[in-house]
Amino acid sequence: MDISDNYYYQKDKFSQLLEVLSSEIVNRAKQIIANDISSQTSNTSMGLKDALSICAMFRGTYLDYKEKADALNSKYMTPEKKVCFN
């Protein structure tokens, strides 16, 4: 059994992976914007559009997969019982 088979199925590991991936996307978008602004060319608005497009695509992909995961979880997972201390 390969360690990668179950490693990212752990909630904390998956969350950490999403944080790292999100940070990398934001950093790359910032670099696109910074490079265009510092060069003072007419491509600045195009660079900003590219950066926003990258972020929007990532968000859209995340939401698509989240929706599918939520549907699977609701189908196959039993809800946790809430404990009342009244």
- Give tens-digit pLDDT for 28-47: 888 877 766 666 566 677 77
Contact predicate 29/51, CB 8 Å = yes
- Please tell me the predicted confidence (pLDDT) of residue 12: 81
> In angstroms, how far is CA 65 from the centroid of its own chain?
10
- Please tell me the predicted confidence (pLDDT) of residue 1: 43
**Which pTM does this prediction carry?**
0.54
Give the pLDDT band (50/70/90) at residue 5: low
Give the pLDDT band (50/70/90) at residue 18: confident
